[in-house]
Amino acid sequence: MDSQPLDELDLKLLQALQLDGRAPFSRIGEVLGVSDQTVARRFRRLRTTAGLRVVGMVDESRLGRTSWLVRLRCTPDVAGQLANALARRSDTSYVDLISAGTEVLCAMKPRSREERDELLFDRLQRTPRVISVSAHCLLHKFYGGRLGWLDKIQALSPHEADALRPSRLEPDDAIIGLDADDEALTALLRRDGRATFSELQTATGQSESVVKRRVERLRASGALYFEVQHHRESVGLDVGAMLWLTVAPSALADAGRALARHREVGFAAATTGQANLVASVATPDTGRLYHYLSEKIGALQGVQAVETTLTLRQVKQLTYEPTR
């Protein structure tokens, strides 16, 4: 990977895409004061040097589905194989190797109870050299989903951010459903969130106007959002870690909201299990991680214990790209 550092315009582009992953380059260029050709050129370069991708994501909670984090402790000789096997599954979104290569962490979004049980109670329990399996249901998300670390970098001015932030209806709490055509459309957007309406029309067989209406409806309902994915090292974050916090129930909500405000946190949620609050964090180095743990985490009220596991290798980030 090219180690060329990102400049101010690169960071502005990343944050602009985080605000609206389908924003036209012409609109981004107008707000940032550069040409659309410059934006397109930077976008192409960041795809190569920073692993930039814009992907469509479905908010499972809007569909009445639950998400899980699954921790699998295994022998080191099978950890990589197990991680790659989980990455090939359509119901997993993130798969990491952690804890010196003896543990796999998997974010699972089963579409049904049968899918969940098949993986948790059958397939994983019968996998050779898996020592233990623990599944943690995500109960409440404090940060993550349509909000990510790029929302916190403040590369854009407030005026620029307001100009790029899409106007959309605020979804209510009603559970919505996706029909077969919606499912086909979101599957395409998972591979390329910036696919043109013409490309989506060709792939789905629906008219361009129908595809456009479906995308707009799904975004307005809150079921569909767009995420910017990139190599964290490209923005100077060489150390990733998962924090498993055991928090007094009376302090859980305040601790979760505090985590959501931390610049280091890209995801935080209340979860089932002995550790009832989990967070994904990234820092420039282990020294910064130490200071974060001792100063910010140490200052949280109600925290009784913290387990920290380093992310050694990300095997899957939404779409399957096996690592060597």
For residue 150, give the nearest of 67, 234, 56, 25 by alpha carbon. Answer: 234
Report the phi/psi class of residue 14: left, alpha or beta, with left for phi > 0 and alpha for psi in -120 to 50. Answer: alpha
pLDDT at 4 over 80: no
Asked if 61-139 and 142-151+232-310 have one fold, the answer is yes
- Quick: pLDDT tens for 146-183: 888 899 999 999 999 999 998 765 555 677 888 999 99
What is the Cα–Cα distance from 158 to 151, expressed in whole angstroms? 12
C-beta separation of 241 from 286 below 8 A: no
- Quick: pLDDT tens for 195-212: 999 999 999 999 999 999
* Residue 19 DSSP class: H
For the chain, the structural domain boundaries read 61-139, 142-151+232-310
Structure token pair of residue 197: 């309406």
Candidate CATH numbers 3.40.50.970, 1.10.10.60, 3.20.20.70, 3.30.70.920; the one for domain 61-139? 3.30.70.920
59: amino acid identity, one letter: D
Residue 182 has what pLDDT? 93
CATH class of 142-151+232-310: alpha beta
pLDDT at 231 over 80: yes
C-beta separation of 126 from 63 below 8 A: no
- Cα–Cα–Cα angle for 311, 130, 114, nearest 5°? 95
Average pLDDT, rounded, for the chain: 90
Structure token pair of residue 231: 């190599």
pLDDT at 234 over 80: yes
Mean pLDDT, to the nearest integer, of 184-203? 94
C-beta separation of 257 from 142 below 8 A: yes
- Quick: pLDDT tens for 249-294: 999 999 999 999 999 999 999 999 999 999 999 999 999 999 999 9
Residue 318 has what pLDDT? 62
Mean pLDDT, to the nearest integer, of 102-131? 84
What is the Cα–Cα distance from 61 to 202, expressed in whole angstroms? 30
Residue 322 has what pLDDT? 37
- Predicted confidence band at 321 (pLDDT cuts at 50, 70, 90)? very low
Instruction: Count the alpha carbons within 13 Å of 135 in the hemisphere toward its beta carbon.
Output: 14
Residue 247, classified by CB atoms within 10 Å of its CB into exposed (0-12), middle (13-18) or buried (19+), is buried
98: amino acid identity, one letter: I
The reported pTM is 0.87
- Quick: pLDDT tens for 30-53: 999 999 999 999 999 999 999 999
- Quick: pLDDT tens for 49-97: 999 999 999 988 888 889 999 999 998 888 888 899 888 888 888 899 9
Residue with tokens 């399957």: 320
